[in-house]
Amino acid sequence: MTTSFLYAAVRTPFGRFGGALAEVRPDDLAAAALTGVLDTVPALDPALIDDVIYGNANGAGEDNRNVARMAVLLAGLPTSVPGSTVNRLCGSSLDAAMTASRMIEAGDAEVVVAGGAESMTRAPWVLPKPRRGYPAGDLSAVSTTLGWRLVNARMPKEWTVSLGECNEQLADRYGITRERQDEFAARSHRLAHAAWEDGFYDDLVVPVENTGLHRDEGIRPGSSPETLAGLKPSFRPDGSITAGNASPLSDGASALVVGSEEAGSLIGSDPVARFAGRGVHALDPQDFGFAPVEAAGVALARAGIGWSDVGAVELNEAFAAQSLACVDAWKIDPDIVNTKGGAIAIGHPLGASGARVLGTLARRLASEGERWGVAAICIGVGQALAVVLENVTDTGKWS
């Protein structure tokens, strides 16, 4: 069987809701990431790209249903390059990368660009169609920014509580205190800021034209457990989850070049990481934050390794509560998790986050000299995805 590799990764800076990227359409964000990642492999003839697969969670507005195809056209690629959009909510772009790797391994493609895009700022309101024409009463517009919408009345109520309430329940179940959550959140900001200052993200992030944004907009290096402790709970009057220890609504895009080993001659560079294992898992919808625990276990088993082999972990920080619950369950050293900051500081534009954590993981493995890494992401409505990467930037050291 053919092996699949990651060759390149970039993303845009992630902007805060209503912030510097608020005027940028999601299809333009998608095109910016696509152009940016191809700029890193200038030897690759875009006409040789077999497919472009993008993740997108909302899709109800300017995403225009198939944002991948929109990105291909807006980026000026040949019209012969196809595009497909996948939706697994928060895991959409990691799903796109996993699909791309499977296509390579099945022999259906040599080079695939995978990624994702989301503008949570520009997600529209939707107006449900009335059951009968010409209703006499009012109709309510529903936000498509985040969470459940137009919920089917047959769904059990415990499944459809807010994402925040789901994590309050998770914090209660696993004894995750407010203090630990705030400490974790402050760490995210501190490490993200340090990573930018150290130049880690310089080659991973491409600016979006005419926005003036060159760094992630949500990072607050002055955040501390003490300052975060002053924020009011967001979901329960006596709860532990606040705007400070949860990921913010965000805008942004990400892109990856995935190919076979033989595709290196087309791409014009050596691969940086091998797709070694993939995992998907699902729980009751309200338990979505804990689903990465088993998804990572599946990916590790398929890679033929265990947690003791892993030197780097990138876990999307949807909430500090669920991140801590997963790290605790894995029984790993927390110091190997999100060492360059996470979504609490960087942001979480739903469809773009999976490719962000995968690209960051690959860069960490190369820069830290670690062999094995895990990228994982929780997904609303009870799901999670995980990928194991093997660093191949210095394969001789593993022999």
Q: Pull the structure tokens for residue 113.
A: 């660009």
**DSSP of 150-165:** S--TTS-GGGSS-HHH
SS3 295: helix
Active site residue 348: yes
How far apart CA 153 and CA 43 sit, in angstroms, is 53
Beta strands in 27-145 (DSSP E): 51-55, 83-86, 111-119, 125-126, 142-143
Q: Are 139 and 60 in contact (CB under 8 A)?
A: no
Catalytic residue among 189, 193, 281, 348: 348
Our separate counts of H helices and E strands in the chain read: 11, 12
Active site residue 90: yes
Catalytic residue among 193, 281, 326, 378: 378
Q: Are 11 and 40 in contact (CB under 8 A)?
A: no
How far apart CA 111 and CA 49 sit, in angstroms, is 5
Active site residue 378: yes
Catalytic residue among 90, 166, 193, 326: 90
Q: Are 234 and 164 in contact (CB under 8 A)?
A: yes
Residues designated catalytic: 90, 348, 378
